[in-house]
Structure 1
Amino acid sequence: MGTTWSVQFSAPTSPEFTALQVRLDSRLLEINAQMSTWDTRSLISKINAAEKGWYAVPDEFCTVLDAALTLAEQTQGAFDPTLGELINLWGFGSMGPVATPPHGQALRTALLRSGWRKTVLNRQHQALWQPGGVHFDFSSIAKGYAVDEMARIMDDAGIDHYLVELGGEIKARGNAHTLHAWRVDIMHPHADNLESKNPNPALPILLKNASLATSGDYLRNFTHNRIQYSHTLDGRTGQPIANKLAAVSVIHESAMQADALATAIQCLGPENGWKFALEHALAVLFFIRRQDDYEVKFTPQFKDQAGAECTHQARIEAIARQSQNTLLN
């Protein structure tokens, strides 16, 4: 998947490390072979190049696409798993980076060929309708699914206390070695730019039997004519997001859902994303850009699930103060 993974765990007896690593590696390779657009031999790449018609897909592929299409419907297309061609045009796909935004006609053509409503998933027969020309992309959901699968392997191995991570997506089970919940840090969107004695402020949370995923417009981007273009595209426009929501973190039982929801909410923006989070009772943390600082806020569910360290208002206010005078691109 073009990223790294790690596992931390504690167990009363030492498992067979080599066998456990082989199982984890093998499962990740299987997922990669189905869902990586960077591999021309993968299933998703073959479907993207296929002619119009129905195509059988395995259970894993069906599960991820089903979740993605459900979220696309819930967000009215803000989240969309059919943006592969547009992602390549903007330089964030397997075709490599670009130095300038794509031409308008190329964008309009690609947008016409995209759209979650153009495809159909027959769940009963695990078959996908390729209308011809649609390029699927699971980059905003497949990593989360892979984390869930890593956790399943740890469960199957009888390990009750672990923290698994892939490309920044995290899932925790049980407790850390100190018998307390796992502590993880949510980094400030522009930590390196802050004028502070602490150059890397973070919001510590306690994660137990849950997953954490973060989406931020600062993670991958390029700048042209002093305008920054984010790697996250709004499926409704085919354009990089350009709202004030700098970063979103989601806590959810499923890493796949947390991964996709973080992207979806960021596409919806600070107002509609907040409404969506409240309507669906989601645990979400928002970093919202203001004129000279950031507003940090979270839903009641996030407060309940993130642990005492996050809910301490002084800590929130300290991070907000460290955001002042940040120079934004």
Structure 2
Amino acid sequence: MSKIKRHQIVLLCIVSLLWLDCSLLAKKKKLFVFTGHTMGTSFTIKVVDDWQKEREKRMGRFQGDIEKLLGRVNGQMSTFIDSSEISLFNRYRGKEWFSVSSELVLVVQTALKVSEQSGGTFDITVGPLVNLWGFGPDPSADRVPAEEDISKKLTQIGYRFLSCRLTPPALKKAIAELYCDLSAIAKGYGVDAVAAYLDSQGARNYMVEIGGEIRAKGKNNNEIRWRIGISAPQAGGGVQKIINVTDIGMATSGDYYNYFEKDSVRYSHTIDPRNGYPIQHKLASVTVLHPQCMYADAYATAIDVLGPEDGYDFALKEELPVYMIVKTDSGFAEKMTPQFAAVMK
């Protein structure tokens, strides 16, 4: 082969590589990160998109749009805001239909469905008991309520005392004292609402996280599924397990952050609606996967109340991908449903 021919081949290869590099550069994805505070916690949203000026300019609007969207959710569902729809409904003492937004009805409708499925272990009317134990909007000093106070509050709760309708959107209570607390489902709904907004803007790869509740779609900026860490249920935190997910919602419930101790007894913020007391079993943490984060959020609370055995049986019955961290005499043990194991493959 002549030197001229070899030179032509080398030059052709260089030109081809340069074209390939330019082609890859044109397809390069950029990671956009949005952060802020909502619902008494923080949020982090990551969007992966093409490296294009027009896309980057559009991304610049996302922060404001997302904050406005979450502000609306807060104004509908937060018991920490006196003027929110749910707070106004809680103060309402009538038994007629009370007008609210269709978004609030959707969340209540979902909550009532999970309540039925779980035999009442998930119950958004548990609020009076949550407040009595000092875990509500007005936290009290760490104290164990009197038994008669717990018994009285038990007569004021029950998801069957609550009704909802979509047309026109409204809620109704059967007893005047009924009080709803959406803290175990509202963050999940907020995640879904942000995901719906991103979908409407044409985003194909994103991760939305609000207070540990997550929705992931597509791939991250390394072109692989989103890597999500599940917290270790122990002092000092850390990561217990890392999972790779896509096109799924995820929520975790546990008693290792919000609790108080009295006379060497630990009292969790998770109250069992069936007896009015904080949970006392060995389930330290439960993570649930579901296409809708709102459902994952509610199911995680229901299973957290049920405990490691009954909760696992419930997850199997509902065919839920569930991952548990259970306390043992020597530390912690992991337990997962076949559906969760299948997602991890």
Q: Same fold (TM over 0.5)?
A: yes
Whether 1:98 and 2:141 are equivalent positions in the alignment is yes
- Offset of 1:15 from its aligned partner? 4.5
CA distance in structure 2 between the aligned counterparts of 1:97 and 1:248, rounded to whole angstroms: 27
TM-score normalised by length of structure 2: 0.84
Of 67, 73, 77, 1:25 maps to: 67
Are residues 170 and 180 of structure 1, via their aligned partners in 2, closer, same or farther at CA, if it must alter by over 3 Å? same
Aligned residue-pair number: 301
Q: How does 1:92-171 map to 2 (within 5 A)?
A: 92-130=135-173, 131-171=175-215
SS of match in other structure, 1:234 = coil
TM-score normalised by length of structure 1: 0.88
Q: Which runs of 5+ in 2 are unaligned?
A: 1-38
Are residues 37 and 201 of structure 1, via their aligned partners in 2, closer, same or farther at CA, if it must alter by over 3 Å? closer
Whether 1:42 and 2:72 are equivalent positions in the alignment is no
Whether 1:181 and 2:225 are equivalent positions in the alignment is yes
Letter in 1 for 2:269: H
Letter in 2 for 1:80: D
The answer to whether the 8 A contact 1:215-1:262 is kept is yes
The answer to whether the 8 A contact 2:287-2:323 is kept is yes
- Offset of 1:108 from its aligned partner? 1.4
- Offset of 1:201 from its aligned partner? 4.2
Of 110, 120, 144, 1:67 maps to: 110
Are residues 4 and 201 of structure 1, via their aligned partners in 2, closer, same or farther at CA, if it must alter by over 3 Å? closer
The one-character-per-residue Cα deviations of 1:152-205 (angstroms, maximum 9, x if unpaired) are 11111111111111111111110011110010111221163xxxxxx8343110
- Offset of 1:253 from its aligned partner? 0.6
Letter in 2 for 1:206: N
- Offset of 1:206 from its aligned partner? 0.3
Q: How does 1:82-97 map to 2 (within 5 A)?
A: 82-97=125-140
SS of match in other structure, 1:172 = strand
Divergent runs of 4+, >4 A: none
CA distance in structure 2 between the aligned counterparts of 1:95 and 1:106, rounded to whole angstroms: 17
Of 100, 103, 108, 1:57 maps to: 100
SS of match in other structure, 1:78 = coil
Name the residue aligned to 2:122: 79
- Offset of 1:127 from its aligned partner? 2.4
- Offset of 1:215 from its aligned partner? 0.3
Letter in 1 for 2:189: Y
Of 297, 307, 320, 1:282 maps to: 320
CA distance in structure 1 between the aligned counterparts of 2:227 and 2:117, rounded to whole angstroms: 32
Residues 262-271 or 124-133, more deviating? 124-133
The answer to whether the 8 A contact 1:90-1:98 is kept is no
- Offset of 1:280 from its aligned partner? 0.7
CA distance in structure 1 between the aligned counterparts of 2:312 and 2:198, rounded to whole angstroms: 34
CA distance in structure 1 between the aligned counterparts of 2:274 and 2:311, rounded to whole angstroms: 15
- Offset of 1:114 from its aligned partner? 0.8
- Offset of 1:138 from its aligned partner? 0.5
Letter in 2 for 1:239: Y
CA distance in structure 2 between the aligned counterparts of 1:300 and 1:97, rounded to whole angstroms: 42
The one-character-per-residue Cα deviations of 1:35-69 (angstroms, maximum 9, x if unpaired) are 00001111111111111222122111011000111
Are residues 75 and 100 of structure 1, via their aligned partners in 2, closer, same or farther at CA, if it must alter by over 3 Å? same
- Offset of 1:123 from its aligned partner? 3.9
- Offset of 1:122 from its aligned partner? 2.9
The answer to whether the 8 A contact 2:133-2:145 is kept is yes
SS of match in other structure, 2:152 = helix
Name the residue aligned to 2:4: none
CA distance in structure 1 between the aligned counterparts of 2:77 and 2:165, rounded to whole angstroms: 18
Letter in 2 for 1:154: L
Letter in 2 for 1:299: T
Letter in 1 for 2:67: D
SS of match in other structure, 1:113 = coil
Q: Choose between structure 1 and 2 for higher RCO, CA contacts under 8 A separated by at least 6 residues.
A: 1
CA distance in structure 1 between the aligned counterparts of 2:181 and 2:339, rounded to whole angstroms: 30
The answer to whether the 8 A contact 1:191-1:201 is kept is no
Are residues 122 and 10 of structure 1, via their aligned partners in 2, closer, same or farther at CA, if it must alter by over 3 Å? closer
- Offset of 1:124 from its aligned partner? 4.2
